[in-house]
Structure 1
Amino acid sequence: MTIFYIANIRLPTEKAHGLQIMKMCEQFAKRADTELVVPRRFNPIKIDPFEYYGVNRSFEITRLPVLDLVKFGRFGFWLESLIFSKIAAVYLFLKKADVIYGRDEIPLYFLSFFKKNVFWEAHQGRVNFAVKRLLKKAAGVITISEGLKSYYKSKRDGILVSPDAVDFNQFNITLSKEECRQKLSKYLPTDVDKKVVLYVGHLYEWKGIDTLLETSHAMKNHAIFVFLGGTEKDSAIFKSGIGGLKYVQWVPPQLHQEIPLWLKAADILVLPNSAKYEISRLFTSPLKLFEYMASGTPIIASDLPSIREVVSENDVLFFKPDNFQDLVEKTKYALANSKEMQNRAESAKQKVQNHTWASRAEKILFFIAQKRTEEKKSDFWPAILAGLGIAVLALPILKNLSLLDFIFSGGRKSAYFLIALWLVFVPAGSVFGIYLARLWARKKPAILQIARYGLIGWLNTFVYTGIFNWLSWLTGVASGLKADLLVFAAFSVTVTNSFFWNKYWVFESGGGSAKLEYAKFFGVTSFTALLNIFIFHLVVNTIGAPAGLDEKIWANVAILIQIPVSFLGNFVGYRIFVFKKKSVNID
């Protein structure tokens, strides 16, 4: 199975959605061919995404060209999103995609018009033209919270709820608090008697940062409050607000691999989400909550429906949202009752082991397997395009064989009529031939693939011979070493054309590494091509044209002899060696 994950994001990004997307692609890739498709945008982060997130290099990342207009605000973002969406739609048009998955509704909106197995993972509660279509047309909808499911349930049945997750082993580190403090001594006190209250994440208002900051002022003699993360703009505002306060510290975003050290080094982890915003109150599934839980460090969290979907009083200490006095009291209580808080932390640690990226991917893939339909790819347009290519590329061959001159000798009107008829008849014949193969394939499925391969074989033959004859007509060369060079030039164009047609239509190998497949494809094709060049040279230059036969006609006879060699050799090589499909495993 081939999965295309479409994400209109800057990659890598300091925001949590980048981590979530990369982790899900890593897990999808263990079970199916996976390709992440993102826009090529300006990025101040120059680190390789796989290194930045600590993710295995097990899937392909494709970057599509866009106009990077996000810096111009909401209008710029919408315009960039539309451009990326249309380019992504073009990119995926001829690809065999068993599943198209994503969080962004605009790209999926365009893809839903010509792709069936579109799956949307909703992270926010909103309804626009794209969401309306996806709720109606998507093969499946996944939400990260019950709150989001309730928001959409009147418009869509069968929604899967799948909260966010964590790499448990990454956060379940064996280092002690003292050892973590030593490693982070640049920012944190090494004396473990000095209490550290830590928040990790962005500094958005709906995250409840103001409530936690007010709490720090009231507890300046009890603990150091550390805020880790934030965008460049938000961080600048936050730093100017805290000035030189000794009990409040801001730490710039860290590599994700370093976050487990910070969580283990703290005494209390705080999740202060505000109840004033619907996204915080009902829709969110905070990544940091799952990471907090995996660390084994005590947690204080806002008492919100979205948070209670994941944890209870047995796992965390709740406080009243947006109430800094209550947060002060709960923080003091937590620091004074370390044994009780550690018991809650251990309960949270046990619970979060059910929320790993691996289990989330398996749950979603099982849902996809139930919802998706086998996409019956239309053969009409590929057959039309291939037939038209054959008809057009035959013209320089007919010219070189003097047949066009013969046709025009009967008058221009009749000649143009015959050419027009030719340009219609060949594509129509191609469609009819593939249609007959489809009927026959009901009894013998391999027939359709062979018919497709045969049609593309003829197209490649006409690409090859058409370019050769065109170059021969331009240069006047039809024999000798220069003719061998013309054959090589024709082969170079033909092999690239052949690769794309065979990959995406004949063998329907939409996933996998395109570079590796092309290298294998080039190797197989080169082997048969060298054999063909040898045959061409033998027939044209060694044997030579029979007396009275034009050299150009004899050169085309040599090319015709190569056809069965190419057909059989390449078909076997492509099917067995180049285009392999990975089957999905959801057990």
Structure 2
Amino acid sequence: MSACSRSPDRMTLRIVFPSLCRPASRDANAIQIDRMCESFVQAGHTVVLTAIGARLQRGQGYKTITLPWPSRRLRNRLMLSITRLFLWRTRPDLLFTRSPLLALSGLHYRAQIVLELHSLPAPGTKAQAALRRLLQENHLRRIVTISQALADDLLAEYGPPHHGCDIVVAHDGAVAGPRPGPAESHGGSLKVGYFGHLYPGKGMETIAALAPLLPEIYFEVYGGTGEDIARWRGTCSEQINLTLHGHIPHAEVAAKMAACDVLIAPYAAQVSHVGGGDIGRWMSPLKLFEYMAAERPVVTSDLPVLREVVSDGETALLCPPGDTAAYATALRRLAADTELRVRIGSAGRDLLETEYTWEKRARRVLEGIVELSDQ
């Protein structure tokens, strides 16, 4: 008998979400996990997030159990023990996690498991071995991948999962708050915004090359570590049309994006991230969806994984990765055509509302799971 509670119009799952992420960190991973937990709660489910480090300093609608941040060598073992203990005490309906190692915990307690993958485990690691085992276990009900490219590579490397497990592609999302309306006038100059880390491949290299080519355009860069900001400020010290603002709280990001005329994400073909390695083939960048939510035209790289979401000339302008001239042409085109800016920005916002809100993502990743739990 399921532990789910049934109401006339919906069923409720008790979800445990074990994570190796720090909830209060600046990383996109922490934001994504927080939004998913909130969206599960808004859908009527109860959620407990177990994580490492300080908890968020606001009410999230879900319960958070955090542990002190230990050494990297100990954190996996510690979280695995805590997850097993919590599963034993609560017997939840669903274990939802992004870690194959933590997902294995659910096998001992007959919980249904949904595993969300943002990349494939490195060869020869415990995570790879855990994933291979999970794919054959009946309690694994679903694998969620953040892109079709990742789903395709998963099947190519590991083969199909067992008969009762499916693969669902669910790109990231954004909050669809009130539409911000037209951008304010900037005295005739275009204001181009970039938001996010400054790791290699994220696009700062292209922005630094664009600034001297387009002195009539202002580039506003938000985010980055202290070390990266200092390095780029030194490199771009003579560019008066480029400002590196550093980190701002995520709660302020939407307003800063809305203050721009254009939002840029000039990814390279290979993209580094906080954990190291290349994510360019599989990524579903949070900033892309937040850019669309801001209702501003997006200029980004013509990568197959980004074409899964946006279309050139309709919901974004796409440029070859690393092609500074192509990016300059796209920005000049937008600077000269207000109607084009409005059309692409509005189309991107419409697409977000139709397909890519966090609420829609939460429903997509749990669709069918609720019904299975009630059987």
TM-score, normalized by the shorter chain, greater than 0.5? yes
1:16-35 paired onto structure 2 within 5 Å: 16-30=28-42, 31-35=44-48
Which residue is equivalent to 1:143? 145
In the superposition, the TM-score normalised over structure 2's length comes to 0.84
Of 174, 180, 183, the residue aligned with 1:173 is 180
Q: Residue 2 of structure 1 contacts residue 32 of structure 1 at CA under 8 Å; is this kept in 2?
A: yes
Q: Residue 272 of structure 1 contacts residue 301 of structure 1 at CA under 8 Å; is this kept in 2?
A: yes
Partner Cα separation in structure 2 for residue 373 and residue 140 of structure 1: 16
Q: Residue 102 of structure 1 contacts residue 119 of structure 1 at CA under 8 Å; is this kept in 2?
A: yes
Mark the CA change 1:289 to 1:115 in structure 2 (over 3 Å): closer, same or farther: same
Of 23, 26, 51, the residue aligned with 1:38 is 51
Task: Give the Å deviation of 1:235.
Answer: 2.8
Mark the CA change 1:136 to 1:249 in structure 2 (over 3 Å): closer, same or farther: farther
Instruction: Please list every run of 5 or more consecutive structure 1 residues that lacks an aligned counterpart in the other structure.
Output: 70-76, 179-189, 375-587
- Partner of 1:93, secondary structure, is helix
**Structure number with higher relative contact order (C-alpha < 8 Å, ≥ 6 residues apart):** 2
Task: Give the Å deviation of 1:50.
Answer: 5.3
Partner Cα separation in structure 1 for residue 268 and residue 199 of structure 2: 10
Which residue is equivalent to 2:301? 302
Partner Cα separation in structure 1 for residue 296 and residue 371 of structure 2: 39
Which residue is equivalent to 2:56? 49
Of 247, 251, 257, the residue aligned with 2:251 is 257
Partner Cα separation in structure 2 for residue 256 and residue 104 of structure 1: 25
Partner Cα separation in structure 1 for residue 227 and residue 87 of structure 2: 36
Task: Give the Å deviation of 1:80.
Answer: 2.0
Partner Cα separation in structure 1 for residue 229 and residue 107 of structure 2: 39
Task: Give the Å deviation of 1:113.
Answer: 4.3
Partner Cα separation in structure 1 for residue 368 and residue 269 of structure 2: 32
Task: Give the Å deviation of 1:362.
Answer: 1.3
AA aligned opposite 2:370: A
Of 57, 61, 67, the residue aligned with 1:64 is 67
Spell out structure 1 runs of 4+ moving beyond 6 A.
none
Partner Cα separation in structure 2 for residue 146 and residue 251 of structure 1: 34
Task: Give the Å deviation of 1:38.
Answer: 0.8
Mark the CA change 1:192 to 1:258 in structure 2 (over 3 Å): closer, same or farther: farther
Q: Percent identity?
A: 24
Structure 2 residue 294 is the aligned partner of structure 1 residue 292:
no
Q: Residue 210 of structure 2 contacts residue 324 of structure 2 at CA under 8 Å; is this kept in 1?
A: yes
Which residue is equivalent to 1:344? 344
> CA offsets, 1:513-569, max 9 Å, x none?
xxxxxxxxxxxxxxxxxxxxxxxxxxxxxxxxxxxxxxxxxxxxxxxxxxxxxxxxx
Mark the CA change 1:367 to 1:304 in structure 2 (over 3 Å): closer, same or farther: farther
- Partner of 1:169, secondary structure, is coil
Task: Give the Å deviation of 1:309.
Answer: 0.7
Mark the CA change 1:283 to 1:169 in structure 2 (over 3 Å): closer, same or farther: same
Task: Give the Å deviation of 1:307.
Answer: 0.8
> CA offsets, 1:234-293, max 9 Å, x none?
333333332353121111222222112111111211111111359544311111111111
Q: Residue 202 of structure 1 contacts residue 230 of structure 1 at CA under 8 Å; is this kept in 2?
A: yes
Instruction: Please list every run of 5 or more consecutive structure 2 residues that lacks an aligned counterpart in the other structure.
Output: 1-12, 123-127, 272-276
Task: Give the Å deviation of 1:82.
Answer: 2.6
1:477-496 paired onto structure 2 within 5 Å: none
Which residue is equivalent to 2:367? 366
Structure 1 or 2: more strand by fraction: 2
When the two chains are superposed, the root-mean-square deviation of aligned CA atoms in Å is 2.3
> CA offsets, 1:73-130, max 9 Å, x none?
xxxx343223222232233223211001111233223443444412111011335222
Task: Give the Å deviation of 1:330.
Answer: 1.6
Q: Residue 160 of structure 1 contacts residue 367 of structure 1 at CA under 8 Å; is this kept in 2?
A: no
1:106-505 paired onto structure 2 within 5 Å: 106-127=101-122, 128-137=128-137, 138-154=140-156, 155-157=159-161, 158-169=166-177, 172-174=179-181, 177-178=183-184, 191-219=186-214, 221-243=215-237, 245-277=239-271, 279-313=278-312, 314-354=314-354, 355-369=356-370
Q: Residue 82 of structure 1 contacts residue 107 of structure 1 at CA under 8 Å; is this kept in 2?
A: no
Mark the CA change 1:326 to 1:100 in structure 2 (over 3 Å): closer, same or farther: same
Aligned residues: 342
AA aligned opposite 1:10: R
In the superposition, the TM-score normalised over structure 1's length comes to 0.55
Q: Residue 296 of structure 2 contacts residue 344 of structure 2 at CA under 8 Å; is this kept in 1?
A: no
- Partner of 1:63, secondary structure, is strand
Mark the CA change 1:281 to 1:11 in structure 2 (over 3 Å): closer, same or farther: closer
Task: Give the Å deviation of 1:371.
Answer: 5.7
AA aligned opposite 2:56: P
Which residue is equivalent to 2:10? none
Partner Cα separation in structure 1 for residue 232 and residue 321 of structure 2: 21
Task: Give the Å deviation of 1:160.
Answer: 0.5
Which residue is equivalent to 2:86? 91
Mark the CA change 1:288 to 1:141 in structure 2 (over 3 Å): closer, same or farther: same
Partner Cα separation in structure 2 for residue 164 and residue 114 of structure 1: 30
Partner Cα separation in structure 2 for residue 254 and residue 336 of structure 1: 30
Structure 1 or 2: more helix by fraction: 1
Task: Give the Å deviation of 1:370.
Answer: 5.4
